[in-house]
């Protein structure tokens, strides 16, 4: 029987996750949760409920996925519902090494490649066509944007955002809450809380 997944959120990121679940043979959408009372619709084909009422509907889903792109909001929601089981959702077209470790709540989107001996933390987003090479480590609540490339043995902290088409060279360490701009090429370690842009990437904050 397919795992019934409750999807938290109805924005753009949620649309992609819903598509992934609709394509899956092992998972299906159980219901959708939203913070906006005006969007609640229990008569819809897929029931939409108020997020605060999720515990009342636990018999209708097996796990929860937080379909919110913002790292910090995702972290806060995960804390609020920490007693629930979280899903891990992987697109059917993603390539994930058998020995890769993906922790709860993480989403791996279409055409992504995750190579051997990779470890990815809780509630991360590995977005469309991203590449996470061998021996990389990614902390909790981080987001690797579309077409970004983490070359071998990159270490990424918690709550990190790596922009679209960014490239992180081998062995680089990126501290917690760092932001790497779109298209940046990171050639040296990044301190926690830093914002880097450009090629080669330079600190602007």
Q: Give the contacts of 79 (CB within 8 A, at least 6 positions apart).
A: none
Residue with tokens 């990437």: 201
Catalytic residues, which ones? 134
Cα angle 79, 82, 88; round to 5: 105
Token pair for 9: 């959120």
User: CA Rg, the chain, in Å?
Assistant: 17
Q: How far is CA 31 from CA 65, 98, 187, 191, in A?
A: 11, 30, 43, 40
Residue 18 is given by DSSP the state H
173 closest CA partner among 146, 147, 197, 138? 138
- Checking 123-126 for CB contacts under 8 A at 24+ apart, the result is 123/66, 123/74, 123/75, 123/78, 123/86, 125/13, 125/69
């Amino acid at each position: 029987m397919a795992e019934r997944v409750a999807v938290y959120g109805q924005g753009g990121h949620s649309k992609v996750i819903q598509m992934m679940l609709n394509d899956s043979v092992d998972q299906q959408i159980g219901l959708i949760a939203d913070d906006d009372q005006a969007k609640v619709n229990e008569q819809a084909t897929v029931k939409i409920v108020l997020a605060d009422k999720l515990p009342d509907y636990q018999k209708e889903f097996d796990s929860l996925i937080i379909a919110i792109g913002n790292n910090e909001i995702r972290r806060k929601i995960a804390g609020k519902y920490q007693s629930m089981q979280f899903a891990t959702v992987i697109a059917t077209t993603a390539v994930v090494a058998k020995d890769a470790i993906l922790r709860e709540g993480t989403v791996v989107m279409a055409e992504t490649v995750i190579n051997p001996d990779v470890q990815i933390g809780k509630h991360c987003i590995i977005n469309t066509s991203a590449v996470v090479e061998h021996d990389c480590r990614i902390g909790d609540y981080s987001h690797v944007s579309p077409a970004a490339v983490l070359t071998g043995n990159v270490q990424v902290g918690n709550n990190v955002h790596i922009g679209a088409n960014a490239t992180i060279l081998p062995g680089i360490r990126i501290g917690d809450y760092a932001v790497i701009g779109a298209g940046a090429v990171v050639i040296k370690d990044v301190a926690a809380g830093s914002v880097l842009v450009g090629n080669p990437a330079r600190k602007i904050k």
